[in-house]
Amino acid sequence: MPLLAERDFRLLLGAQCIAQMADGLAQVAFAEEIVLDPQGTPTRTLALFALTLLPYSLLGPFTGVLVDRWPRRSILVWTNVARAVLLVSLPLWMGALPGDAALYASVLLLLGFGRLFLTTKGASLPVVLHERHLLRGNSLSGGGGMISALLGGVAGIGVAAIASTETAFLVAGSLYTVGALVARRLSNPMVHPHQHLERVLVAAARIAAELAEGIGEIWGRERARLPLFGIFVLRVAAMFVALIAIEVIRTEYAAADDSGRLSASALALGAAGVGAFIGALTAPAMGRRFPTPALLIIGFVVSGASMVIAAPILDLTTTVGLALFAGFGAFVAKVAVDAQVQEALPDEYRGRAFALYDILYNLASVVAALFLVAFVEFSLEALLASGGLLVLLLAWLLARAMRKAGMFPRAETKVA
């Protein structure tokens, strides 16, 4: 494959896959401790999302400016080092904080460093690839990352079952260390101006001004703004499906031990990974057949239609099937949005764009949980069907807006 002939792309992809494998392993360990508790409720899940995602969402825009101001290779290295130190040391200080405070704080920090890493990766990809390879590059990067996280999750289930969650944290920390060493071998440091940190207040004011400039640049470009809105909506739908799956698993295994809930969760996660893998294989071919914005609409339609179809027959089996189609739709849409944002903006704004992208991802999880809590008196089947119909309606509205913005060529297909 011509893409893999590029040394820096191979290293970037390797560092990403190793880090996301560690993500999957660590997330399973945290899920066993917090999310899959049979006594859990949608309100507790909302609280978890709010406490761990909203603080980063407030600070997240500043990470984009950091990505645009500091050597990106260094960020890729040190975000992995920080996560390794956090997980390896967690068993030593977990008991120093009351209740689950240490777990919540660790999830917050882990997600923050993880999103900074992926923001930097998204902004770095166009530097190590030619623009004409962006769709395939994003497909390979996204698919590889998804499969790596899945493999990490499966490994996490095995380690937690055979040994302990503390051992799972140690293994994940070791993987982050390897990811840091791989990222350090990138030949291009991707250095940008303004490398030196100024006084805190002066630097904060400058970052705020640059952030406002970046948001203005994004808002003024419909080719970047509309895809970001679309991926936010689709992420809300994907997280809503994930929350529905959690509730189905809690109900199905209310009296079972942890291994039953973890196995069912692994099955659903695996189905989502298979769907994403199919998306990774088919997205480049679809990209040759359809305009890139059309892939986002295809992702909407697949996700929304699968929600509507699964709603009347919702059980553990259909939940696994729903996860597969949701994984496919979300991945195809994400690949399209990555490429559109990268193409629509000059390099000096891409870090801020992908930071905003990550913030929308975080807020989408909170919105999905809030939706579930707000309508908790309704059946899961009714909520799933209503959500699917809303996704399909928004797909139609988004397609109209994109066509009006001239994002679709006159011919409905591309000429290869």
* Highest mean pLDDT of the ranges 19-23, 68-72, 101-105, 143-147: 19-23
| Dist. CA 214–CA 116, nearest whole Å | 17
Query: Do both 216 and 229 map to the same domain?
Result: no
State the CATH number of the domain containing residue 108. 1.20.1250.20
State the pLDDT at residue 93: 77
Query: Do both 59 and 167 map to the same domain?
Result: yes
Rounded to a whole number, what is the distance in angstroms from the first to the last CA of the chain? 18
| Dist. CA 247–CA 152, nearest whole Å | 23
114 CB burial (10 A radius; 0-12, 13-18, 19+): buried
Q: Which of 173, 115, 144 is nearest to 9 (CA)?
A: 144
| Dist. CA 72–CA 61, nearest whole Å | 16
Q: Which residue has the higher pLDDT, 50 or 302?
A: 302
Query: Do both 191 and 233 map to the same domain?
Result: no
Is 319 within 8 Å of 308 (Cβ atoms)? no
Is 150 within 8 Å of 24 (Cβ atoms)? yes
Query: Do both 227 and 316 map to the same domain?
Result: yes
CA atoms within a 13 Å half-sphere pointing along the CA-CB vector of 57: 16
* 194 pLDDT more than 60: no
Query: Per residue in 129-140, pLDDT tens?
Result: 766 677 778 778
* 257 pLDDT more than 60: no
Query: Do both 62 and 152 map to the same domain?
Result: yes
State the pLDDT at residue 181: 96
CA torsion 207-210-214-217 (nearest 10°) is 170
Least confidently predicted of 30-39, 116-125, 196-205: 196-205
Three-state DSSP class for residue 197:
coil
Is position 364 within any domain? no
Percent of the chain scoring above 90 in pLDDT: 23
230-242 average pLDDT score: 89
386 Cβ neighbours under 8 A, 6+ residues apart = none
Query: Per residue in 261-307, pLDDT tens?
Result: 666 776 777 788 788 888 888 888 888 888 888 999 999 999 999 99
Query: Do both 249 and 196 map to the same domain?
Result: no
Query: Do both 147 and 136 map to the same domain?
Result: yes
Tokens of 115: 């999103």
Q: Which residue has the higher pLDDT, 53 or 19?
A: 19
Query: Per residue in 15-24, pLDDT tens?
Result: 999 999 999 8
State the pLDDT at residue 267: 78
Is position 90 within any domain? yes
95-121 average pLDDT score: 80
State the pLDDT at residue 52: 63
Biggest CA-to-CA distance, the chain: 63
Query: Do both 407 and 290 map to the same domain?
Result: yes
Domain end call among 177, 202, 220: 220
What is the tally of structural domains in the chain?
2
SS (H, E, C) 371-412: HHHHCCCCCHHHHHHHHHHHHHHHHHHHHHHHHHCCCCCCCC
* Highest mean pLDDT of the ranges 44-53, 267-276, 303-312, 342-351: 303-312
Domain coverage including residue 392: 222-344+375-416
State the CATH number of the domain containing residue 239. 1.20.1250
Is position 16 within any domain? yes
Query: Do both 212 and 70 map to the same domain?
Result: yes
Query: Do both 104 and 226 map to the same domain?
Result: no
Is position 82 within any domain? yes
Least confidently predicted of 36-50, 214-228, 360-374: 36-50
- pTM value > 0.85: no
Query: Per residue in 169-185, pLDDT tens?
Result: 899 999 999 999 999 99
| Dist. CA 338–CA 316, nearest whole Å | 32
Count of other CB atoms within 10 angstroms of residue 177: 17
Is position 368 within any domain? no
Round the CA-based radius of gyration of the chain to a whole number and report it. 21
Binned at pLDDT 50, 70 and 90, residue 70 comes out as confident
Binned at pLDDT 50, 70 and 90, residue 34 comes out as low
Domain end call among 185, 220, 255: 220
Tokens of 120: 């930097």
129-155 average pLDDT score: 80
Is 266 within 8 Å of 157 (Cβ atoms)? yes
Is position 363 within any domain? no
Q: Which residue has the higher pLDDT, 8 or 257?
A: 8
CA torsion 16-330-34-82 (nearest 10°) is 20
Domain end call among 165, 192, 220: 220
Q: Which of 20, 172, 30 is nearest to 94 (CA)?
A: 30
Query: Do both 234 and 214 map to the same domain?
Result: no
Is position 351 within any domain? no
257-261 average pLDDT score: 60
State the pLDDT at residue 62: 65
Is position 110 within any domain? yes
Average predicted confidence (pLDDT) for the chain: 81
DSSP classification of residue 34: T
Count of other CB atoms within 10 angstroms of residue 393: 12
Binned at pLDDT 50, 70 and 90, residue 59 comes out as low
* 334 pLDDT more than 80: yes
For 195-201, which contacts have Cβ atoms below 8 Å and span 24 or more sequence positions? 195/69, 195/70, 195/71
Binned at pLDDT 50, 70 and 90, residue 256 comes out as low
Query: Per residue in 313-323, pLDDT tens?
Result: 988 889 889 98
Query: Do both 3 and 149 map to the same domain?
Result: yes
